[in-house]
Amino acid sequence: MALGKIKADTLEHSTAGSIATNYVVDGSAKAWTSINQSTPAIIQSLNTTSITDSGVGIIDPNFTNNMNAVGWCSIASLRNTGNYVHATILTDTTSKCRAQSLINANTGEDSVDIGVANYGDLA
Q: For 64-115, how does the pLDDT look when each residue is reduced to its tens digit (9 = 90+)?
A: 999 998 888 899 988 766 666 788 888 899 999 999 988 877 888 888 889 9
C-beta separation of 42 from 106 below 8 A? no
pLDDT of residue 23 exceeding 70, the answer is yes
C-beta separation of 109 from 57 below 8 A? yes
Higher pLDDT, 25 or 18: 18
pLDDT-based confidence at residue 123 (cuts at 50, 70, 90): confident
Segments making up each domain of the chain, as ranges: 30-119
pLDDT-based confidence at residue 31 (cuts at 50, 70, 90): very high
pLDDT, residue 7, reads 83
- Whole-angstrom distance, CA of residue 32 vs CA of residue 60: 12
pLDDT, residue 104, reads 79
Higher pLDDT, 83 or 25: 25
- Indicate the pTM of the whole model: 0.81
pLDDT, residue 25, reads 78
